[in-house]
Structure 1
Amino acid sequence: MNAKAVLDGYDLKNLFHAGADWLETIIDDINALNVFPVPDGDTGTNMVATLRASLEAAAASNGSVASVAYAIDKGALMGARGNSGVILSQILHGMAEELKGKEIIDADTFARALENASDTAYTSLTHPVEGTMLTVIRDAASAARKSADTPGATFVSVLTAAVHGARASVMETPGLLPVLKEAGVVDAGGHGLFTFLEGALLHISSDGHGRVPELLSHGRPLVKGNNNHAADEIFYGFCTQFMIEGENLKAKEVRETLENLGESLIVIGDESTLRVHIHTKDTESVMQAVSPFGTVTDIEIGDMDEQHQDFLMIRQCNQGKIGTAVIAVVNGPGMVNVFADLGIAAVVPG
């Protein structure tokens, strides 16, 4: 194993490339685990897209750790996609903030970077939820700190501890978030973060040849009932993302303005540029509410109900054909739920 004690900017960029590549190899598996906050099968895709955007921004940066981290941070802010991507961008932002002015990263600096990454990610959310990527980065940071405080600690030994901490944390997510336990899976975003760190570790330790990413949750989420049940019971609304450009912008003010207009609200950035992510049923009200703050650009609105249905259809196809199916025709939402929970192939209200 390579016991490299410190990293420079070039090493850091290569580490990120390795982690992103490792995650991309199981992007479909991560997508398949996606049941929270919306089961639309895009967690892996969004995390990889965010990492690719950050690395593209850092492509020309080969200097100090601080300059590479800054470029990665800005690239992630501009290119963050989806709930998982925006949270990941805040993890990267927290690391970059701690690495300001640093030429290299040693064991203690890396542990502090992970600790700040965790703190930054938690504070960026209006309502942080345990059993998600937030828990995993916190536990990874805690494990890294314990390792860094050990005499003779190196960057690799601290990263190894962080990976082990992240893995253990991912395995615990179903016990923290009921929707994961009900579906029989671990958290997709948390798993994605673990896989990214695992890929980085295997690269720096030259131990990845002939190996494949470890899957901590095998199979597919258990779905009670079918598309009809899910669609009839829940209206997810629209995943709405955009940038606000202006002067003296304050994330807190924008967050307070939008907190009653949707869920999964994240507002990040600086005084000149903010990125907003929100799940809302009323995009028009959201746009009207933020227009006084500055110029709204890069608007992306995704129909989460449509994405959810596409996700369910793909998963049904992957499950293959069944020999015998039972279809129930029932009256009332209560009975629909009862039959759906029994595993009926289709529940038709009637």
Structure 2
Amino acid sequence: MAVRVLVVDDSGFFRRRVTEILDSDPQIEVVGAAVDGKDAIDKTMQLKPDVITMDIEMPVMDGITAVRRIMTMRPTPVLMFSSLTYDGAKATLDALDAGAVDFLPKRFDDISKDREEAKRKLCAQVRSVAKGSRPAPTPPPVSRPTAAARTPISRPASAPPPAAPSAPVRRGSFKLLAIGTSTGGPVALQKVLTALPANYPMPILLVQHMPGTFTPAFAARLDQLCNIKVKEAADGDMLQPGVALLAPGGKQMVIEGRSGAARVKITESDAGQFYKPCVDITFNSVAKIYPNTTLAVILTGMGADGREGCRTLKQGGSTVWSQDEASCVVYGMPMAVAEARITDRVVTLDQFGSELAGVV
């Protein structure tokens, strides 16, 4: 059955363009279009789409307000279109807090310089967020230090992928926490990191698939909400306990030095590198410095990035945890490590914060 999509934008040209691209995919059907947030709410109730694509800035009612109301009236996966500016990043993060599941650049050239590749990515993203059933309503945001988190998309029952038997928790034996995530990651990271105490004794590395213009705003938001310090990683940053370094979008973050005196190196991506930043690249570098003392975590996300990096870490004696299917927005990256039998433990999103706080 085709994925039924509602396209929401105040620009007639953009609505037509998105509709043409989505309708070119035999697995997708555009069932309607809306010109503003209020119209989007009415069309959502009337057409009951599987996925909504939503602009942020619109007359009558903006996209963020519309997302928040849709999540209370008829929860539906929403994919936001965003401008790649700092202000656009902040607005998009607000939309994710309101309940949207992911975002894409509004300029298709920012998705990919190859026009056909940009079309394929848009269609793939729509199909991906539609795989789960509709998200549950979003709880109201709360102030620091408690996490503001929405309830993730519920999933139909399915047989879990094969995974390695759960290993006993190695409390006190870890020297580094490394987390990789993609679709659904901003809200998941916010929920996990806000549960950690200010005196958390390990350095933390964060790899979130995100454009370069978004990571400064995302790091600033996390830093404001969390007890630990969070910053966008810069070349030469030392790994310090209680400090989370977020890989800058559009680049790669690797670790150099030795355990206890490791530092970040920020590099440009090689030609043809799909993920920028890439979890595998960061995790493979971590395996050289912290071969058997890393706790690697894979959260919600599309694709399989992180699987090979986790494999390298596991071969060196480190531990791998992954998010469970039911609490993922997209069960791709965690499924990849679980199916490869790399995961030592499967954890729900609600449990991650307390479990990570308890291993030190």
Q: TM-score scaled to structure 2, two decimals?
A: 0.25
Higher strand share: 2
Q: Between the two structures, name the one with larger relative contact order (CA 8 Å, sep ≥ 6).
A: 1
Q: TM-score scaled to structure 1, two decimals?
A: 0.26
Computing the radius of gyration from Cα coordinates, the structure with the larger value is 1
Higher helix share: 1
